[in-house]
Amino acid sequence: MKFKLLICIFSFLSFSCQRSPEYKQDQTYFQNEPPSYYNKGGNEQTTITKRIEMMGQPKKRVVVLRFWNDTPVKVSDIGSFAAEELRRNLLATQRMLLPEEVHPDLTTQDVVQGSQVKTSQLIREGRRMGVSVLVIGRLPKIVFRQKGDDVGLFRQKQSLAAVDIEIKIFDVASGREILTTAKSGESSSNAIAVTEANDLESGEFRSELTRLAVRNAVSSLVPDVIRSVEKMTWQGHIAKTTGTKVYVNAGKASGLVAGDILKVLAQGDDIFDPTSGAFLGRTEGQLKGTVEVVDFIGTDGAITQVHTGGNFQSGDLVQLY
């Protein structure tokens, strides 16, 4: 009887000492609480407000220009294929907008001269299209190799293709380059060739292998693109003003919600090097006031009400407050 009583007491004490999920959650909360008079140990880099703020960032509008096949290997329309592959991969993440109604007038080849990018021309194109991000790309190298038997009716052959892809990403609002990176991709085919259909001398077969290599290279670029774009400050534009109503070129599709407060800034000034004339970037525009999202319009537009300030004009920048 005493033994049973001891077991009951031990069980009760063990159960009492266990921490409930609610208790653990509270402890985690207070451990991660931002620094304050009452809490000196918070991590300033991972405050709760910063984490939540980053979670709800609206999506940026991204345009990918047709890539430049800067090689002597002229695979049919491989530049367009590479750009479309990147668009498709980015769209699948659902973390940015790639508007189908926007059609760029330029390609990567149009804005690259030697090793230099015609940044001012590129940024003007981005502003014309009303997007936040521009991506350009180049294929500097395409290689084919084949090994295997050359004799006999049935020949075991391995065909390989490899490509290098370079991309640059530009923040249209600031007029600056935010990422330069390069990746390689490869593809191979092991086949018993009865005819010449699976030979690298066949243009169609080379094209197929190249596209597979491009697909592999592009997929490895996607994480770098996402990280770079999501570090950018989201910006939209005022499309129209009517009295106290201000129409913005971003809405539900971009991720805005009713009640969001947006700060309105004047467009900055372009800065050019006085010696070379090279485009250096843009100054930050002056703060004009704030507006509040009250309703939505069209496929991706918002109606806002003036909160503070005034003299808002079409083309003014808006950012989350």
Lowest average pLDDT, out of 39-48, 54-63, 95-104, goes to: 39-48
Lowest average pLDDT, out of 37-46, 146-155, 158-167, 196-205, goes to: 37-46
The structure tokens 């038997």 sit at 149
User: Identity (one letter) of the amino acid at 290?
Assistant: T
User: Which residues touch 37 (CB under 8 Å, ≥6 apart)?
Assistant: none
**pLDDT at 314 exceeding the cut of 50:** yes
Q: Which of the four pLDDT bands, split at 50, 70 and 90, describes residue 268?
A: confident
Lowest average pLDDT, out of 99-113, 180-194, 257-271, goes to: 180-194
pLDDT for res 216: 96
**pLDDT at 8 exceeding the cut of 60:** no
| Three-state secondary structure call for residue 193 | strand
Lowest average pLDDT, out of 11-25, 123-137, 213-227, goes to: 11-25
What does CATH list as the number for 236-320? 2.40.10.410
CA atoms of 40 and 111, how far apart (whole Å): 51
**pLDDT at 108 exceeding the cut of 90:** yes
pLDDT for res 23: 42
Mean pLDDT taken over the chain: 81
pLDDT for res 290: 94
Phi, psi of 271 (to 5 degrees): -115, 130
CB 183 within 8 Å of CB 217: yes
Q: How far is CA 145 from CA 141, 159, 165, in A?
A: 13, 6, 18
Radius of gyration from C-alpha coordinates of the chain:
28
What does CATH list as the number for 62-231? 3.30.160
CATH 3.30.160 in the chain, residues?
A: 62-231
Q: How far is CA 140 from CA 74, 132, 256, 282, in A?
A: 12, 27, 40, 30
Q: Which of the four pLDDT bands, split at 50, 70 and 90, describes residue 289?
A: very high
| Three-state secondary structure call for residue 296 | strand
| Three-state secondary structure call for residue 49 | helix
pLDDT for res 138: 97
Q: How far is CA 198 from CA 191, 209, 250, 288, in A?
A: 7, 10, 50, 64
CATH 2.40.10.410 in the chain, residues?
A: 236-320
Who wins on pLDDT, 197 or 134?
134
pLDDT for res 165: 98
- Average pLDDT for 114-142: 92
pLDDT for res 49: 61
Percent of the chain having pLDDT more than 70?
74
